[in-house]
Amino acid sequence: MGIFHRFRVPAPVSPADARSRLDDLASRDKDASLASLSRMLRRRDGYLATFVRDGAPERLERKDRDLLAAYFRVDPFEFGEARDADAAA
């Protein structure tokens, strides 16, 4: 394999996988709810619940993904970060 196997970029996370991951992380954290996390993002209480349940918006904004990733101490990529698309943003 050589030394380059360490630098493989993970496959893109689908919107459905990002929603599932957020729901899983929120349900495991006794101090968090989707409503409280939505407020942390300065959004309406139902924002993340609608994202998880209905898939709207289709993907979270970069700043929202970054804040959630920092809160849960995970890579923003787990919430569907599209590195190429966001580079232009």
For the structural domain made of 13-83, what CATH number should be given? 1.10.260
Whether 84 has a pLDDT exceeding 80, the answer reads: no
Of the chain, the percentage scoring pLDDT greater than 70 comes to 78
Query: Any idea where the domains of the chain sit in the sequence?
Result: 13-83
C-alpha distances out from residue 70 to 1, 8, 33, 37, 41, Å = 32, 23, 16, 12, 12
pLDDT in tens, 52-66: 999 999 999 999 999
Cβ atoms of 22 and 51 within 8 Å: the answer is yes
The pLDDT of residue 5: 54
